[in-house]
Structure 1
Amino acid sequence: MGSTGGDRSPDIVSGAIPIVDFSRWHTNTSKADQFSVARDLTDACRTVGFVYITNHGLPQPLLDQAFNAAKRLFSLTHEEKMQAPHPDGPEVHRGYSFPGLEKVSQYAGGDDEVGEQLRQVSDCKESYEIGSEENSQQPNVWLPEATLPGFRAFTTEFYWECNKVALEILRALAMGIGLEDPEYLLRYHSGHNNQLRLLHYPPIPAAELESRSVARMPAHSDWSTMTMLFQDDCGGLEVADPRTPGKFIPATPVKGACVVNVGDLLMRWSNDYLISTLHRVTLPPLSDRFEGEHRMTRARYSIPYFVTADADSLVECLPACTDAQHPIKYDPVTQEAYARTRAKLQYRTSKAVAAAA
């Protein structure tokens, strides 16, 4: 199954996340180089579910500009940021979310009581969500131009630059899985259903995270096809170790690298050949990441780009990922239906908030 060579897997030492140099994929290289990259990328995605990609194609000055845009955004006053509020409820995921508004979890049921129990530990982060201007189902919510000049134009440009890289990664994964058509996954990914997220974790006392009275981002899998993540040097991202249940390993920041992880849809497409791994954001691993006598955490900034199939895409097992030893595990599902299931408790409606008060 697949074309990665049976049980061959990348060198994983003590649960380390593999690093793949993507420069060998670029069009001026040989097919053999491209196959080598595709094989290494796919091996990482089927054994860990996470991989660092270096030389991915986004220049460092552009990434620096993106982080500067995020810092400008989150340095605004609460009143200014609330000029672009996240819409009520879980249906539209755009605009600004203040700390505590969103609750990330792995729970996909519809029990409101379970949701309220999860919300007793609030997520201490704020975010801003951006999508394609052509996605009528997920309309953008923009700040006024006067509040943050140039923000809309830059983030729109950055959104599509990220998509260019995403398409090349999808091509490489298609080759690594063993699909005859390297463009197969691209048919379902126009780019218009992706999501650019700017994230800020404000400083809080380390003791509050250690006591679990608050969280940064609890353990969860992503419900996209895949995620491309750019992070600052603060640290705190952890990935479930597939070899040791219950253990998490740090995804230590690598300068200039993009952290790519498999999402639930790609795991379903590949019949669990590629794995969507639980991950979380918690305390950074080193004591020098804290500041002052109250051990305040440093502010952390990250920029995930969720690569998502178009809403009407039917996600069903790829023929290359099933045989007599690997029967189909999942029923076909559309992206829209799956996302609706996972998003139920992410954002409450104002009516639900009032009822819980």
Structure 2
Amino acid sequence: MGDIGIDFGGNPVPIVDFGLFLNPPSADMKKTTAGAIVQAFSTVGFVYLVNHGISQDEVDECYDWSKKFFALSVEEKMRCLRVHPPTGPYHRGFSGVSNSGPVVRQAFEMSRDDVPEFPNPWPDESTLPHFKDFCLAFFQTCYKTQLDILHAIALGLGLDEDHFDSYHTQKENQLRFLYYPSVDEQSLRSGDEERLDAHTDIRTLTMLFQDEVGGLEVEDPYNPGVFRSSPPIKGAMIVNIGDLLQRWTNNTLHSPMHRVRAPPLKETTEVDSTGAKVKMTPPRYSIPYFATPNLDVIIDCVPGSWNETRPKKYEPINTQDYIDLTVKSKQKTYNYVK
């Protein structure tokens, strides 16, 4: 602890050694680490975690599978076309580069594989052998780490470590592979082509792996409207709070606004129709995992987040109803990618 991932004018997002929580040398160190995580989440809503329990080899293998999928032919990827029902968290499959707006990306989304109404649309096994097996195994790995992070949050809030466990047993979570192709640098940096517009995440929390290209920006909580670069750090996972956990903690924790903009330029050029050299951004890959409570549980402000002088800001709500209402309210700008 003590290193800085993003510096908001002297108010840093820390890099926290999560190993000191997972394998603490003492009970005090475990509590101190949990407190540092909650402190970051209560101010800027983001934290970098190192020694988080997912090996770099696993993450690198996940990137390899992601690149293999996006390298498939359009025809093969279209066989995994996205299942996108009007309600709920069931977003699965492939979505391509948008033709209707400025966001330029491709995505493959998957979740638990036991929902008959909304199965994960996998590529054919002969086309991409073992892809399905790896994705389901990595999904389970992320779920375990999700629970570890929720244990730290609970302890940092003064709750029992397992406070959030019973709310997250059904694995209504989502693993997403994202690919942002090379884009004309001038258009992207001017805002004509946003890779992902400013938004908050609606679920419990998000765990993000981003490659060395970068491009993620976080709104400075001390200067609204100003976004700071969130640089990639080898071996680190970025974790941010979602709207639901902000509500759940009665605004104790902060769901941050963030976006994806132009990354640093790659040393390469292309020539346009006039013969002029065009600067291009490099392609970017990222892997977010979104944690979501069971759809049938009631979310109410946690003990310790409210009292007579600090009343509850939110009424209890069912997770399914919350997601439906939130998605509807964000209909025009809502996006499931990062």
Q: TM-score, normalised by structure 2?
A: 0.89
Compared CA separation, residues 74 and 347, structure 1 to 2 (3 A): farther
User: Per-residue deviation at 1:290?
Assistant: 5.8
**Which residue pairs with 1:255 in the alignment?**
234
Percent of paired sites with the same residue? 39
* Residue identity in the other structure for 1:93: H
* Residue identity in the other structure for 2:129: P
**Which residue pairs with 2:154 in the alignment?**
174
User: Per-residue deviation at 1:139?
Assistant: 2.7
Partner-residue secondary structure (3-state), 2:288 = strand
**Which residue pairs with 1:98 in the alignment?**
96
Matches within 5 A, 1:314-333: 314-333=298-317
- Tell me, yes or no, if the aligned pair for 1:205 and 1:295 is still in contact at 8 Å: yes
**Which residue pairs with 1:334 in the alignment?**
318
Q: Distance in 1 between matches of 2:20 and 2:152?
A: 11
- Which one of the candidate residues 260, 280, 293 is aligned to 1:309? 293
**Which residue pairs with 1:39 in the alignment?**
35
Using the TM superposition, name which of 80-89 and 301-310 deviates more. Answer: 80-89
- Tell me, yes or no, if the aligned pair for 1:124 and 1:216 is still in contact at 8 Å: yes
* Residue identity in the other structure for 1:63: V
Say whether residues 1:222 and 2:201 are aligned partners. Answer: yes
User: Per-residue deviation at 1:235?
Assistant: 0.9
Count of residues in Structure 1 that have an aligned counterpart in Structure 2: 318
Partner-residue secondary structure (3-state), 2:177 = strand
- Tell me, yes or no, if the aligned pair for 2:216 and 2:261 is still in contact at 8 Å: yes
**Which residue pairs with 1:114 in the alignment?**
none
Partner-residue secondary structure (3-state), 2:13 = coil
**Which residue pairs with 1:295 in the alignment?**
279
- Tell me, yes or no, if the aligned pair for 2:247 and 2:301 is still in contact at 8 Å: yes
Q: Distance in 1 between matches of 2:172 and 2:332?
A: 18
Compared CA separation, residues 263 and 294, structure 1 to 2 (3 A): same
Partner-residue secondary structure (3-state), 2:278 = coil
Compared CA separation, residues 212 and 23, structure 1 to 2 (3 A): same
1:34-64 CA-partner distances (Å, limit 9, x unpaired): 1011000000000110000000000111110
Partner-residue secondary structure (3-state), 1:339 = helix
1:217-263 CA-partner distances (Å, limit 9, x unpaired): 10100011000000000011000100111111111000010000000
Q: Distance in 2 between matches of 1:147 and 1:15?
A: 48
**Which residue pairs with 1:84 in the alignment?**
80
- Tell me, yes or no, if the aligned pair for 1:17 and 1:251 is still in contact at 8 Å: no
Structure in which a larger fraction of residues adopt strand:
2
Partner-residue secondary structure (3-state), 1:122 = coil
**Which residue pairs with 1:237 in the alignment?**
216
Q: Distance in 2 between matches of 1:13 and 1:54?
A: 23
Q: Distance in 2 between matches of 1:140 and 1:40?
A: 37
User: Per-residue deviation at 1:137?
Assistant: 5.8
* Residue identity in the other structure for 1:222: D
Q: Distance in 2 between matches of 1:59 and 1:14?
A: 31
Q: Distance in 2 between matches of 1:51 and 1:298?
A: 26
* Residue identity in the other structure for 1:192: K
- Tell me, yes or no, if the aligned pair for 2:8 and 2:222 is still in contact at 8 Å: no
Cα-Cα RMSD = 2.1
Q: Distance in 1 between matches of 2:320 and 2:60?
A: 33
1:283-304 CA-partner distances (Å, limit 9, x unpaired): 11x3x43631311110000000
**Which residue pairs with 1:351 in the alignment?**
none
- Tell me, yes or no, if the aligned pair for 1:188 and 1:313 is still in contact at 8 Å: yes
Say whether residues 1:149 and 2:129 are aligned partners. Answer: yes
Partner-residue secondary structure (3-state), 1:24 = helix
Q: Distance in 1 between matches of 2:244 and 2:214?
A: 27
- Tell me, yes or no, if the aligned pair for 1:201 and 1:300 is still in contact at 8 Å: yes
- Tell me, yes or no, if the aligned pair for 1:219 and 1:279 is still in contact at 8 Å: yes
Using the TM superposition, name which of 21-30 and 259-268 deviates more. Answer: 21-30
Q: Distance in 2 between matches of 1:57 and 1:346?
A: 37
User: Per-residue deviation at 1:28?
Assistant: 5.3
User: Per-residue deviation at 1:213?
Assistant: 2.7
- Which one of the candidate residues 241, 256, 261 is aligned to 1:277? 256
Say whether residues 1:124 and 2:104 are aligned partners. Answer: yes
Q: Distance in 2 between matches of 1:136 and 1:333?
A: 26
- Tell me, yes or no, if the aligned pair for 1:200 and 1:301 is still in contact at 8 Å: yes
Q: Distance in 1 between matches of 2:323 and 2:164?
A: 18
- Tell me, yes or no, if the aligned pair for 1:42 and 1:173 is still in contact at 8 Å: yes
**Which residue pairs with 1:116 in the alignment?**
none
**Which residue pairs with 2:186 in the alignment?**
207
1:324-355 CA-partner distances (Å, limit 9, x unpaired): 3321111222221222233343799xxxxxxx
Compared CA separation, residues 174 and 135, structure 1 to 2 (3 A): farther
Structure 1: give runs of 5+ residues left out of the alignment: 1-9, 102-118, 349-357
Q: TM-score, normalised by structure 1?
A: 0.84
User: Per-residue deviation at 1:11?
Assistant: 8.8
Deviation beyond 4 Å, 4+ runs, structure 1 = 10-13
Say whether residues 1:268 and 2:257 are aligned partners. Answer: no
